[in-house]
Structure 1
Amino acid sequence: MADTDDSKITGLLGRDFKRSLAAGNLNLCMTVRYSRTIEIAQVTRLAGYDALYCDLEHSALTIDQVSQISMAAAMSGIVPLVRVPCHGHHYISRVLDGGAHGVVVPHVDTVDEAKACVDACRYPPMGGRSLTGLGPLAGQSVGTTDAYRLINENTVLIVMLESPEAIKNADAIAAVEGVDMLLIGTNDLCMEMGIPGQLDSDQVRDAYQTTADACKKHGKALGIGGIKEGPMLDAIYAMGGRFIMGRVDGVLMSMAATTEVKTLRKLGS
């Protein structure tokens, strides 16, 4: 029996994020690769995103930098996620200890790999994560037992399916307790399928449908990566995709800068 009134605990953004997804709400996430300081958290909030994720797989960001950004995002009311570069405790536990409220794990192809991810990000008895400070619960009146239970329940684990093998195993991966979302990395999936860049192909649609069916069956969320617009995005939304991995911060800056330059160049023409 819990001694803590969970409804009075604040700072568990993962809880609100999971509830929002379960309610069928659309959740948008900015990808951070180029920003190095905490101001990006405010930009993300003011733009209207629900989450940001710092990408340690495809950037030169350090754990120190993503920890600072994660803590700033949490204080801004934005769910801080971090994509780790590989599987394993040595990255997953460190980014969670540093302030992330969830992790995105790339290239999860099998049930065993999904279970290893759960083990890395959940405290006993759900997993094998090493005990540390109370993270998002710091400074609140909550007992140790309840604290680790709450963190276990509200830490977000997103596994990425990026190969035909992963899609084949989607149902079994979705059945793994402790996995919250299956997120398809569409660009890598297309490469693995031998159809690079063909994001609107029937193979991609079929892969999403297979994964969507698995998510519905096991009560997991479906995430969309690499598709930002067009009929395919509409189709995946209709399948139940409610988490969209948005554009990279540097790309968004470039798009805005290009638009401004085109506008200003019209002066005197």
Structure 2
Amino acid sequence: MDAYRAIKLRQSSNLQQALKDATHNHTPLIGVGIGVPSVASTKLVAFTTADWAWIDAEHTPLSPTLLSDLVQTINYYSEGKMLPVVRVPTHTHEWIAWALDAGAAGVILPHIETAEQVRAAVAAAKFPPQGNRSFPPFIALPGLTDLAPEGKTWLDVANEHVAVIPQVESQLGLDNLEEIMQVEGISAVMIGKGDLRLDMALPITENGAISLGSKSWAEPAWVAAEERIRTLAANYRMPLVGVCNDGNVAQMVSDGYRMVFGASDFHALGMGITMIVEATRKLATEAAKLPN
């Protein structure tokens, strides 16, 4: 991922190019979710081999300051090898600005349902003339953090690097997906399968447990929805983003997903501790049965 690192770690890495390369090579960027609002744990995540970090500000209660700290922690502690991508809690310009001013490589916009919403978000994420993002006076230090390749400015680099990713997760969004994919300035589309199924009155549980991406999801309406997503993504060469698991990652890659993640700090902490504790318990129980 060194090829996508910005000249200065205070700047946004080149997620646009990373997505183009992933699409060309048919090889997805593998990410990790950040759901624990902690700089300390995010430092550990930044040391791992994930290509990108999905910082979820929609379902994790983050202040703008903590959000900025998490983004910069990923940039600095990974030495630019991991690209921070923020799912903002709303489509309003201030959250998009806070995420990008911090150095996020991209923003994911939840609950997108219309092309108009996407156009407004793209405008908020791009400096003029491509949009109306406001110049951040306390970010660009002349000669220190505003460096750019010869012939370009820091503003040019930001417009070329930052990826805008609408997330479709409702029937209305699915109905408008073709128009959404045609909006100039987006780099990928995320499919929120859990909320999409809920909006379609389809279950997301299996045997009482949450199961995102289960092979049992075979209802005709769902099969048709996935076929529509797959076909439009192929027609518009639009990379898809989504949550994966061991059982569906191969199918997702085949369907055109070029940014995926199946791990998160939240699940790794909870499930990892549980696995180690139970393994230790088993060994201790077996040892207790041995003669002294």
Does TM-score exceed 0.5, indicating one fold?
yes
Letter paired with 1:236: M
Letter paired with 2:89: P
Q: Structure 1: 5+ residue runs without aligned partners?
A: 1-6
1:89–1:120 CA contact under 8 A, matched in 2 = yes
Report the counterpart of residue 26 of structure 1 in structure 2. 28
User: Once structures 1 and 2 are overlaid, which stretch shifts more, 232-241 or 138-147?
Assistant: 138-147
Q: Structure 2: 5+ residue runs without aligned partners?
A: 206-212, 287-292
How far the C-alpha of 1:98 sits from its partner, in A, is 1.7
Report the counterpart of residue 230 of structure 2 in structure 1. 212
CA distance in 2 between counterparts of 1:205 and 1:71 reads 40
5 Å matches for 1:1-40? 10-11=7-8, 12-23=13-24, 24-40=26-42
How far the C-alpha of 1:129 sits from its partner, in A, is 0.7
User: Once structures 1 and 2 are overlaid, which stretch shifts more, 145-154 or 194-203?
Assistant: 194-203
Tell me if 1:109 matches 2:113: yes
Report the counterpart of residue 98 of structure 1 in structure 2. 102
1:212–1:241 CA contact under 8 A, matched in 2 = no
Tell me if 1:78 matches 2:82: yes
Report the counterpart of residue 186 of structure 1 in structure 2. 193
1:184–1:208 CA contact under 8 A, matched in 2 = no
- Which of 277, 282, 287 aligns to 1:261? It is 277
Letter paired with 2:218: S
| 1:8 to 1:243, Cα distance in 2 relative to 1, 3 A | closer
Tell me if 1:228 matches 2:245: yes
How far the C-alpha of 1:215 sits from its partner, in A, is 2.3
How far the C-alpha of 1:150 sits from its partner, in A, is 1.7
Q: For 1:82, what is the secondary structure of its paired residue?
A: strand
More helix per residue: 1
How far the C-alpha of 1:260 sits from its partner, in A, is 0.3
Identity level (%) = 24
Asked which structure has the greater CA Rg, the reply is 2
Q: For 2:285, what is the secondary structure of its paired residue?
A: coil
Q: For 1:265, what is the secondary structure of its paired residue?
A: helix
C-alpha RMSD of matched pairs (Å): 2.5
Letter paired with 1:95: A
CA distance in 2 between counterparts of 1:94 and 1:50 reads 22
Normalising by structure 2, what TM-score?
Answer: 0.80
| 1:134 to 1:176, Cα distance in 2 relative to 1, 3 A | farther
Letter paired with 1:234: A
CA distance in 2 between counterparts of 1:208 and 1:83 reads 23
5 Å matches for 1:145-224? 146-197=153-204, 199=213, 200-202=217-219, 203-224=221-242
Report the counterpart of residue 89 of structure 1 in structure 2. 93
How far the C-alpha of 1:124 sits from its partner, in A, is 1.1
Normalising by structure 1, what TM-score?
Answer: 0.87
1:208–1:236 CA contact under 8 A, matched in 2 = no
How many residues in Structure 1 have an aligned counterpart in Structure 2? 260
Q: Deviations over 1:113-137 (max 9, x none)?
A: 11111011111111111112349x8
